[in-house]
Amino acid sequence: MPIEWAGSPPELLLHLDRDRPEPLRSQLEDGLRAAIRGGRLRAGERLPSSRELSRQLGVSRGLVQECYGQLHAEGYLSARPGSATRVAQVSTVRPATPARPAQARPAIEFRAGVPDLAGFPRSDWIWAQRESCRSAPTAAFDYGDARGSLVLREVLAGYLRRVRAAAAEPDHMVVCAGFAQGLGLTLRALAQAGIGRVAFEDPGYGDGSTLAAAAASGIQAVPVRVDEDGVDVTALAATGARAVVLTPAHQWPTGVVLGPHRRQALAAWASKVEGFVVEDDYDAEFRYDREPVGAFQGLAPDRVVVIGTASKSLAPAVRIGWMLCPPALLDSIVAAKELSDRGSPLLDQLTIAKLIESGRYDRHLRRMRSVYAERRAALVEALHEHAPGVALTGLAAGFHAVAHLPPAADEKTVVAAALQRGVGVTGMGTHRSTGATRPAQLVLGFGNLTERAIRSGIAKIADLLR
């Protein structure tokens, strides 16, 4: 898509060599032809006016007009009275690039971990951007604290105390670019603290990127079993790890909640081994059938790093997250953050702070809870109608559930057959450390699907599930 310039004319890099015997007009014509043929100037792109280009190049306006006229006659440029001169549609020669195989997305995709992208509060975001930019002091536009805006850290600390029952203080908060960066910074700090082995829930992060982050930090990642009460703390102790990455409020992807006795045992383990818990607090805002579960960090604030983001509550594109750090790791995490990028985008931080302060963030969450509850109900009803023998678990929170297939079902076959029908589903095997597909289960995300799409998708694959 060509750039549409508003007001000021576009700039164009062309070089004229006055020491060459070739006339300047010929040099200018050849330079423009080469830029168009090579694809540096694309069809529809606007050129500077003859007056502006003559000023930029230090030549007469008449010379530029003659050049434009010649290239127009040759078909390289197009112009209409009262309109800018633009590049015409011509064949170009561009550097060859390897062709990427086409990846067709299914028409209906039960993609887990993705919120309702259409539900992003655009008007509230624009309002908060305008208000935060208008009221920000001049100093806010300078390089700031690597930990992030103090305004946002104060707002987030208050929010975590109020909503997540966390022991949060602004000085212990670090703003980051989402969970991936937060985990990377934490793993680096753990390695510097002499911790060489970290446990991860199994099933859990099976896509490889999280485990790759551990390897990049020089840390050995080991799986630890998850059952109906969350992580098995006895099995955790047997791994020899001194740190573990957990999703205690709504385990990813099984959806179970870390039980009260497991919470006490986990806090005791962390104290005994002088270790740390990395708490991924990814979708705790969305609960339906039970009271909200507080952050585990409240039980052992000196042993827990909490990582939260706006990816599920707002949208992944926001790329803003936060870390609540224990004192023992805080300095290492801040130093790593400063080396990484000197701090996350400050104006976006102020925008989020304004959203939370104004109450619009809470209002958005309340609205989305209602939306997701209706979509969850649509999934339950569709399965009850078309595949009544399939049990659903993990529905107490978030916007994904686990469908338990019959014993004879082959998980990979079901996934492949559903894709042939234009329905995307994910097998639990992709989240298990061994890749095992028994018991056969599907992880069904419903956050970014309409109720109509949910019902249609289940109807299309109903015979595969039974």
Amino acid (one-letter) located at 270: A
Q: Cβ atoms within 10 A of the Cβ of 22, count?
A: 10
**Element holding 220 (H helix, E strand):** strand 220-227
CB contact at 8 A, 382 and 454 = yes
- The vertex-141 CA angle with 135 and 147, nearest 5°, equals 100
Mean predicted confidence (pLDDT) in 396-416: 95
- In tens, the pLDDT along 35-68 reads 999 888 989 888 998 999 999 999 999 999 999 9
Domain residue spans of the chain: 24-87, 108-113+364-465, 120-358
Pairing outcome for strands 220-227 and 197-202: parallel
* Assigned fold of 24-87: Arc Repressor Mutant, subunit A (1.10.10)
Question: Residue 383's closest CA among 412, 367, 406?
Answer: 406
One of 3.20.20.70, 3.40.640.10, 1.25.10.10, 3.90.79.10 is the CATH number of 120-358, namely: 3.40.640.10
Coil, helix or strand at residue 404: strand
- Averaged pLDDT of the chain: 92
| Higher pLDDT pick, 90 / 235 | 235
To the nearest 10°, report the CA torsion of 405, 406, 407, 410: -60
Q: Could you tell me the CA-to-CA distances from 418 to 333, 432, 465 in Å, in that order?
A: 44, 21, 10
Q: How far apart are CA 406 and CA 391, in angstroms?
A: 9
pLDDT over threshold 80, residue 197 = yes
- Residue 91's pLDDT band, with cuts at 50, 70 and 90, is low
State which of 102-116, 205-219, 344-358 shows the largest mean pLDDT: 344-358
- Residue 333's pLDDT band, with cuts at 50, 70 and 90, is very high
pLDDT over threshold 90, residue 223 = yes
Coil, helix or strand at residue 456: helix
The encoded tokens of residue 419 equal 């894709």
* Assigned fold of 108-113+364-465: Aspartate Aminotransferase, domain 1 (3.90.1150)
- Residue 211's pLDDT band, with cuts at 50, 70 and 90, is confident
- In tens, the pLDDT along 362-392 reads 999 999 999 999 999 999 999 999 999 999 9
Query: Tell me, what's the pLDDT at 209?
Result: 74
Q: Which residue do the tokens 């310039």 mark?
A: 5
Question: Residue 182's closest CA among 155, 162, 143, 156?
Answer: 156
Query: Tell me, what's the pLDDT at 186?
Result: 97
- In tens, the pLDDT along 432-451 reads 999 999 999 999 999 999 99
pLDDT over threshold 60, residue 3 = no
| Higher pLDDT pick, 289 / 426 | 426
pTM here? Answer: 0.86
Q: How far apart are CA 119 and CA 316, in angstroms?
A: 12
